[in-house]
A and B are shown apart, each in its own frame.
Chain A
């Protein structure tokens, strides 16, 4: 997380909110609504689930896969999958066709390390499931238990082209922050694609306020917990018998959650900023055969060679160029391009104060990486294929290739430019309406002069 919340938008350290007062009975209406004047609904219902085939024709296809870029290419979607990609495909009987008219077509974008689905309104506690409520670290804190498929932040991200998310706890400065999951942003109710997609660990002391832990504290705790997990798993059956194990710092459920991590099956998502911390965790992960994904990475470019050699994917916000703390004095706009040039798998991700709601700015991040020296196709890969690889879902998502889930976006212009937007979004074969709570609010207030119906009836 960027350490400092915007000073005015949301103050640091919120106190307990006063209990909400129940509102009284609704006031009687002065002007009854006139049914005739009620505008037609803007929303279009979701189309039936991948029922018919859809052929997208004449797209400027950025497959991000083996087929590269096709200037005039077609994508055939059948059911939830892409079944063919190529030039001049034949539409099967009954298939819908969409003429992309040369517009760019890309895989759906993937947001990496956001709180999409677990954070409706950041400062409204009952809607915020991002961090353990007790001030303890916990690997067992599993956000898969909290995914809300009805979150209004999901359609907002989706109509900006985002179709997947690695939803995980934010950096918590408590060492172990919890377990993330991969979700899709299509129709619910079940959005989960992959549980236990990684355990978030924060190795940087909290910035901005009083330092609660210093680096040796953090490392001691980090090592001890992993050692405990190993010991626990080596004798798990006997663990609960009297004398079965020495006292452990962590609870049984935390040690359970760390099983796949110590076996190198589930990644540790480690937030580190300072070059020395990054070097240290890369060595540690190598020595202990842990699967590592680096997030934060303010100074990652200074450790680019080590990261490339150890094949550690790095999730960074390419726009962070300020010494926001003493841990990222080397933050620079060149970070993405330098890591990419060194052969690191770069994943781009906005790291705003408000990641669930800003998830749709991911294409802008990639555009900025390009503006600062990253190759355009690499930047697109950094928000699609590279994310798929990092989060272990590359077999089903990340490119426009036969056999992949049909997460497909048609754009009205350069997908990475801020003036562009999707004209069609498919998630796992379903075409999603370009509607969100925001578009509904917009229509309610589109015409302030119109007298009827009153605003409350629009």
Chain B
């Protein structure tokens, strides 16, 4: 039987609930909500405010499409709608209002993803005021984040865009054993770094092997040796284990003193929880093998070895342990641990069944990752491997997306994924190719044929030297 609650009764209940809330909430107040709710470390600071730019449906009709999934579709079309890849194949629907682009003679690939960039943290122009990539004050700085250094007005972002780069991981430098968190950005013009943040991309932790930490700290208290490097990683993660245990005990008991918060150890605890994978700068084969053991000891995950110039020596080890190799096409020899670099590296790692990819680590190189992939492919072919261009394209699209944990959203041209797409004026694995149109989430962000769609940064505005223009097409 239905009973009507008198008005005063409802009001009393509301008042009671509010009173209760008022009593409880302040007690919780200083504690971040995640801790209270889920008994876990918070991991959502500096949330993304990225919103795709407005777009109309676009069809690129009759192009050669390299999907990033090893497929090459001749005379194929792709429909970008509402920010997503809505259809791809021989024929695609053209909803009313669709912008149709003639793709004859053109090539279409997924947007390029550079898994190793310092744009924004080592921006152009390079001077004392802009060196924000290495917090080289002590060897373990897990507490810092590259996103807090990124200068969104770095002109390098625009140039990378003109090279077809739609997303990139911005890493702290490699002065430190543990250099801090990286951030994954969409390559869109933005006033703020949050406005570029790739929605829901996991954070990663930058760590570095070998010569660099030794060089920086060898005479500043160490590490001075490779064994010092390894001891440093292990000591840091041992502390993180203790820290995590302390908090777990606290969450479990729901009583006792709240442990002090340490944001560096918090990051490492999230690494131990496998919520933050490690992006590990290691050149030499033996360094990689050692780091695989360290990761096993503490139970964290290394997503990829970066600058892995000797990956070809241990490609089987990388495959077995599910760690990707992030490589240059032909950089070598600039320091001792780069002395054994060879141009077949990427092809050999790929051939061994491990996950292989290109990276730039350079504001000029990032503009031509397609050429670097072409060189790596050609070197592999010359040593007798059969490598299709459809396969090689994955070295700059699918594989970096995989290693960054964003393959579900981007990295290949598949229905439902973000419409991060590049149209090239010719075979992208050629020195003569230009990214003609670059789409991010379906919006045309760069158009080589339309200077109004060539974004430029504040820094470049009104500078005489560039004729007052600057920007992506400079």
Residues of A within 8 A of B (CB): 2-4, 6-12, 14-18, 120-124, 152-153, 156, 207-210, 275, 299, 302, 319-326, 328-333, 353-354, 356-358, 360-361, 364, 367-368, 370-371, 416-421, 438-439, 441-442, 445-446, 448-449, 455
Contact = CB atoms under 8 A, between A and B. Distances in A.
Contacts of A330: 463-467
A244 to B, nearest CB: 45
A321 B343 CA distance: 26
B124 A6 contact: no
A15 B216 contact: yes
Chain B contact residues: over half helix, strand or loop, or mixed? loop
Given A11-B216, A419-B374, 18 more contacts: A11-B175, A209-B127, A321-B367, A323-B460, A323-B470, A324-B124, A325-B125, A325-B126, A326-B125, A357-B334, A368-B368, A368-B371, A370-B432, A416-B431, A420-B378, A445-B348, A446-B348, A446-B383
Contact of A123 (B225, B335, B368): B335
B371 A4 contact: no
Contacts of B208: 8
Nearest to A334: B474
B133 interface: yes
Nearest to B382: A421
B284 interface: no
B344 interface: yes
Given A7-B134, A323-B155, A445-B312, A299 B465 contact: yes
Interface in B409-432: 429-432
Contacts of B116: 8
A209 B470 CA distance: 24
A418 B215 contact: no
Contacts, number: 206
B371 A329 contact: no
Contacts of B343: 438
Given A7-B361, A9-B334, A123-B335, A442 B125 contact: no
Nearest to B343: A438
B133 A7 contact: yes
A170 to B, nearest CB: 13
B297 interface: no
Interface string B120-135: 0110111110010110
A20 B212 CA distance: 15
Given A153-B333, A418-B378, A8 B124 contact: no
Nearest to B217: A15
B82 interface: no
The 9 closest A-B pairs by CB, nearest first: A330-B465, A367-B431, A329-B465, A357-B333, A8-B174, A123-B335, A4-B126, A7-B173, A419-B378
A14 B174 CA distance: 13
Contacts of A325: 125-127
B105 interface: no
B127 A419 contact: no
Contacts of A153: 333
29 contacts: A4-B126, A7-B122, A7-B134, A8-B118, A8-B208, A9-B338, A11-B175, A15-B215, A15-B218, A18-B225, A121-B339, A123-B335, A299-B465, A321-B159, A322-B155, A322-B364, A323-B460, A325-B125, A354-B331, A361-B330, A364-B375, A418-B378, A418-B429, A419-B430, A438-B332, A442-B312, A442-B344, A445-B348, A455-B313
Nearest to B352: A448
Contact of B340 (A4, A354, A441): A441
Contacts of B155: 322-323
B338 A419 contact: no
Interface string B146-161: 0000000001100100
Interface centre among A120, A331, A358, A438 (most CB of B within 10 A): A438
A418 B361 contact: no
B307 interface: yes
Nearest to A443: B383
Contacts of A328: 465
A324 B211 CA distance: 26
Contact of B156 (A10, A322, A358, A441): A322
B306 A8 contact: yes
A124 B337 CA distance: 10
A234 B312 CA distance: 61
B62 interface: no
B186 interface: no
A370 B371 CA distance: 14
Contacts of A324: 124-126, 363
Contacts of A445: 312-313, 348
Nearest to A328: B465
B433 interface: yes
A322 B378 contact: no
A441 B342 contact: yes
A11 B374 contact: no
B364 A320 contact: yes
Contact of B368 (A18, A152, A319): A319
B316 interface: yes
B344 A6 contact: no
Nearest to B317: A448
A361 B331 CA distance: 10
A368 B171 CA distance: 28
B110 to A, nearest CB: 20
Contact of B212 (A11, A124, A326, A439): A11
A46 B430 CA distance: 32
Given A9-B361, A210-B128, A438-B343, A448 B315 contact: yes
Contacts of B174: 7-8, 11
A125 B96 CA distance: 66
A354 B175 CA distance: 19
Contacts of A442: 312, 342, 344, 348, 383
Contacts of A8: 116, 118, 171, 173-174, 208, 212, 281, 306-307, 361
Contact of A371 (B330, B432, B466): B432
B459 interface: yes
A319 B335 contact: no
Given A122-B334, A302-B465, A14 B432 contact: no
Contact of B474 (A14, A333, A356, A371): A333
A17 B216 contact: no
Given A8-B118, A121-B339, A319 B215 contact: no
Contacts of A3: 126
Interface centre among B174, B225, B344, B466 (most CB of A within 10 A): B466
B44 interface: no
Given A2-B364, A4-B122, A438-B332, A329 B466 contact: yes
A71 to B, nearest CB: 21
Contacts of B465: 275, 299, 302, 323, 328-330
Contacts of B341: 438
A310 B379 CA distance: 42
A356 B364 contact: no
B224 interface: yes
